[in-house]
Structure 1
Amino acid sequence: MMHKTLSMGLLPILMLVGCTMEPDYHRPSLPVAGHYAGQGQHLNGNGADIRWQNFFTDPVMHKLIAQALENNRDLRVAALNVEVARSQVTVARSALMPSVDLNAGETAAHLPGNLYNTGPGGGVTYHQFDANFGVTAWELDFFGRLRSLSHSALERYLAMDATQRATRISLISQVAASYLSLCSDNELLKLAQSTAQSQQDSYDLIKRSYEGGVSTEQDLVQAETLVRIAQADVATYSRQVRQDVNALTLLVGTDLPADILAGASLKKEWNFPATPAGLPSDLLTNRPDIIAAEHTLLSANANIGAARAAFFPSISLTAMGGSTSGRLSDLLSGGTAAWAVSPAIDLPIFRGGKNVANLNIAKLQKRIEIADYEKTIQTAFKEVGDALAGQETYKDELYARQLDEQASQRNYDLATVRYREGVDNYLNVLVAQRSLYSSQQLLITTRLGQLTQQIMLYKALGGGWKS
């Protein structure tokens, strides 16, 4: 009967130990539309299912990304931060368990003789040896304060882990986009070099014609203008290529392949996976930064439980058992056992509003994290929408740029023929050359924009998609 009564009395305590005062968590609804503009109806799909090795198939780009994932310092720091957060979870969880210590020591003291009437020069000297094994200030988590703090630390770790994955995806995208920029600038440099050489040849021809009295000085000056423009562009794109190489070196974290410029051109078969139509907006929940924001929100929710528990009594226990003896040789002998139990209760009565303020702070922090979570989703929705809009429009723009470049080439060829036949003056040739050069430059930059949109969509969807 006594055992039954004891069990009935312990049951409510055990139930209290296993609970927390955290509010029930409900994921905030997506503060965005159900699908993207121009993307039609929902499509059953999953995000972040394309491995980067399958998305970025160009051999050079593939190699650069692999090197960056191994050597990039920002990614190393992110990984180390995850390890720090993991250790902090262990620290928080350790508070739920008793801290057991073993200690041993000696106390030696001498008291003067007049305290014991032993006469002048007398006195008492004694030694005390102790060996104790016990628990120090173990808080019994009846109201879940420690469990909430442990839960909060766990959610912060999960947020940090998701942030590390977001850093990884961002690094992959940065390397790919930087390599495309290098390819574009390298093409623009080669175009400027060939244009400068072509303009120099035309200038030399006009100069000989001018010296022979056929061409005018104005023709000569106009021809020189295009030469200088092309030469300035050579310097500009040479600088940009070198800066692209430096940026890639920083991202990759090691030396680049020696022949990286040899094949740096946009005129390749990049073969990025096609985007399925009708991507649903709930794919965004697979983005690591959104996952991190939700774990941060969950951490704030757990902190409310800890703040609520602070209004209730805190019970801690200190217990010690061991042996005490006046001589070291008798320390483990019979009759030297000693023990002590010191339960303590801390009942908050008046704290000057501290607990109320802490609870208000925890609640306000949760509201802040909800707003941050929603803002992260809205930002992600915009990024995906921008990338999808870029995909749709760059295709048409690239086609128009190609037609424009072809038309500019025909116009230049016709202007050259008419000038040689004496029908038009040289100014028309110069205008046609400038137009052709500009069209060729725009065609390269438009091609870069089209390819970059593929990478931006990969990043915006948190690493890809799967229909």
Structure 2
Amino acid sequence: MKRNFINISLLTTLILSGCSLAPTLQVPTIEQPTKQESVLHVKEKWWEIFGDTTLNSLIEEALIHNDDLKLSALRILKAKQTYGLSDANLYPTLNATGSFSKQQTSGETYQKKENAYTEYSLGLSLQYEIDFWGKLSNQAESNWSLYLGSEMARQTVTNTLINDIIQAYLNLASLEERIKILNETIENYRQSYEFRSKQHQAGSINELLATQSLAQYNNASATKGVLLETKIAQQSALALLLGKSPKELFEGEKPLITHLPSPIVVPNGVSSDLLENRPDVQEALMSLKSKNALIGVERSAYFPSISLTGSYGQQSENSGNLFQSTATKWGFGPTFTLPIFDFGKINTKVEMSKTDLQSALISYEQTVKKAYKEVYDALSKQVLIQNRLSFNENEIKSYQKMLYITTTRFEDGAANWLEVLDSQKSLLNASLTHVTTKQTLLSSQAELFKALGGGWNQTLK
């Protein structure tokens, strides 16, 4: 008796726990980056490192109202619901049943007897597919991985949106700074032209010098017009990301954007955890796990599908006798289905799932390589752009000194007006270039944080 009890307990445990036919997943390891003394870490709200309150408020607003994020949230909900459905399949299904029927048999059958009868029934039915080969658990694991992958996909969309807002913001801030420089320059050119025009009318200078001043003024004004056209397009682009109209966003009492943020100092080192937790890398890994689990689902078709069914209830021709003890009926028993010959369908499905796994493995490796390339490129650009910005600042100082020297020499009669105009033009171009170079540096720093996948959901690790 004791031995039978032990055997039944072991069999019950084996049936309920089942086994998995999914292969052991071999995930390629992510190469460890070269260790550095100072290592970059990315916090969840990584854009706040730029220290611009206006930029912060725009991003926070976009994270609430952006349509792409709303669609991503619905995809996550659908994936979670799919997992919930597959998880529910692991448990028995209990249904209440009830019926009433009234029938008249034919007197023209072999029984040669015509009968009319009524039947009432109430009961419970139980259905439970034993997950002996891990089919249902593997399907649930696959759907769970897809759910986590949809979370990572949403984070990728979020980081892309944040980066797009930052880039649009930097474009507008750069345009504002360049327009401000041009406004000051145009005013100087206007005053210079009016002064030279009076000198020409007085006969102290020739007409050429006055015309050169006018041409310089017109050239700067035309350049400003181009920047204003670009500004309108950039305002529309930023407003679209925020789900607003340009009028609603920019026609306030005070200008929304006035200047570029200050560049930050970026350490050279990169923690390996950053790349492992990059959303697209995690999404590719979840896809890999999902495809691996599906192999177990398809392999389970080689073996019997075992189910337990049971029923219990009351049945009677008279509703008054429905709850009598003699009206009780019940049934219980296992059923199984075993494929014998299917012309290779199961084997083909297994091979197809293996092919899907290989494709997912290649996609994962491609995603990791892409992550390394983007981070490497973004880090490499930092030093080069920083040097370019430093050279540009020295260039501005040189042109400022050159303008002072040529102006002084012209007033002393030792230089012609063309030299002064060249110095002014060179200083203007260097000043405009300095703004665009600063914008390029900030843009590359934002791209670096995007490449590192900052702001991932720590709870999904």
- 1:18 maps to 18
Cα distance change of structure 1 residues 344 and 259 upon mapping to structure 2, 3 Å threshold: farther
User: In 2, Cα distance between the equivalents of 1:281 and 1:418?
Assistant: 60
Alignment of 1:393-404 (within 5 A): 393-404=384-395
User: In 2, Cα distance between the equivalents of 1:164 and 1:195?
Assistant: 46
Please identify, of 438-447 and 283-292, the stretch whose mean Cα deviation from structure 2 is larger. 283-292
SS in 2 for 1:100: strand
SS in 2 for 1:335: helix
- 1:421 Cα deviation after fit: 3.9
- 1:186 Cα deviation after fit: 0.8
Tell me whether 1:383 sits opposite 2:374 in the alignment.
yes
Cα distance change of structure 1 residues 29 and 429 upon mapping to structure 2, 3 Å threshold: same
Tell me whether 1:70 sits opposite 2:64 in the alignment.
yes
Q: Contact (CA 8 Å) 2:307, 2:335: kept in 1 or not? A: yes
* Alpha-carbon displacement from aligned partner over 1:155-196 (angstroms, at most 9, x marks no partner): 111111122233333333333333222211111122223333
- 1:45 Cα deviation after fit: 5.9
Cα distance change of structure 1 residues 263 and 347 upon mapping to structure 2, 3 Å threshold: closer
Tell me whether 1:131 sits opposite 2:122 in the alignment.
yes
- 1:265 Cα deviation after fit: 0.6
Aligned residue among 416, 420, 431 for 1:425 = 416
Tell me whether 1:91 sits opposite 2:85 in the alignment.
yes
User: In 2, Cα distance between the equivalents of 1:110 and 1:163?
Assistant: 62
Please identify, of 313-322 and 87-96, the stretch whose mean Cα deviation from structure 2 is larger. 313-322
Aligned residue among 104, 124, 127 for 2:98 = 104
User: In 1, Cα distance between the equivalents of 2:414 and 2:397?
Assistant: 23
Q: Contact (CA 8 Å) 1:324, 1:336: kept in 2 or not? A: yes
SS in 1 for 2:26: coil
User: In 2, Cα distance between the equivalents of 1:380 and 1:397?
Assistant: 26
User: In 2, Cα distance between the equivalents of 1:414 and 1:134?
Assistant: 100
* Alpha-carbon displacement from aligned partner over 1:230-275 (angstroms, at most 9, x marks no partner): 2222222222223332222233335547356255212x5x474x43
Q: TM-score, normalised by structure 1?
A: 0.86
User: In 2, Cα distance between the equivalents of 1:193 and 1:49?
Assistant: 39
User: In 2, Cα distance between the equivalents of 1:45 and 1:396?
Assistant: 21
Q: Contact (CA 8 Å) 2:263, 2:442: kept in 1 or not? A: no
In structure 1, the gaps of 5 or more residues are 36-40
User: In 2, Cα distance between the equivalents of 1:241 and 1:197?
Assistant: 21
- 2:29 maps to 29
- 1:285 Cα deviation after fit: 0.8
Tell me whether 1:413 sits opposite 2:413 in the alignment.
no
Cα distance change of structure 1 residues 396 and 89 upon mapping to structure 2, 3 Å threshold: same
User: In 2, Cα distance between the equivalents of 1:362 and 1:98?
Assistant: 28
- 1:218 Cα deviation after fit: 4.3
Q: Contact (CA 8 Å) 2:268, 2:379: kept in 1 or not? A: no
Please identify, of 212-221 and 245-254, the stretch whose mean Cα deviation from structure 2 is larger. 212-221
User: In 1, Cα distance between the equivalents of 2:284 and 2:33?
Assistant: 20
Aligned residue among 439, 452, 459 for 1:448 = 439
Q: Contact (CA 8 Å) 1:42, 1:280: kept in 2 or not? A: no
- One-letter amino acid matched to 2:25: Y
Alignment of 1:205-216 (within 5 A): 205-216=195-206
User: In 1, Cα distance between the equivalents of 2:198 and 2:414?
Assistant: 20
- One-letter amino acid matched to 2:119: Q
Cα distance change of structure 1 residues 464 and 339 upon mapping to structure 2, 3 Å threshold: closer
Count, aligned residues: 450
- 1:192 maps to 182
- One-letter amino acid matched to 1:234: K
Q: Contact (CA 8 Å) 2:149, 2:287: kept in 1 or not? A: yes
- 1:402 Cα deviation after fit: 0.7
- One-letter amino acid matched to 2:435: I
Cα distance change of structure 1 residues 165 and 12 upon mapping to structure 2, 3 Å threshold: same
* Alpha-carbon displacement from aligned partner over 1:118-145 (angstroms, at most 9, x marks no partner): 8xxxx64322122231124x32111111
* Percentage of matched positions with identical amino acids: 28
Q: Contact (CA 8 Å) 1:34, 1:282: kept in 2 or not? A: no
Cα distance change of structure 1 residues 395 and 362 upon mapping to structure 2, 3 Å threshold: same
Q: Contact (CA 8 Å) 1:159, 1:295: kept in 2 or not? A: yes
Q: Contact (CA 8 Å) 1:178, 1:244: kept in 2 or not? A: yes
Tell me whether 1:225 sits opposite 2:224 in the alignment.
no
SS in 1 for 2:335: strand
- One-letter amino acid matched to 2:221: Q
Pairwise CA RMSD of aligned residues? 2.9
In structure 2, the gaps of 5 or more residues are 457-461
- 1:38 maps to none
- 2:430 maps to 439
Q: Contact (CA 8 Å) 1:285, 1:291: kept in 2 or not? A: yes
- 1:292 Cα deviation after fit: 1.6
* Alpha-carbon displacement from aligned partner over 1:413-444 (angstroms, at most 9, x marks no partner): 33333344443333323322221111011100
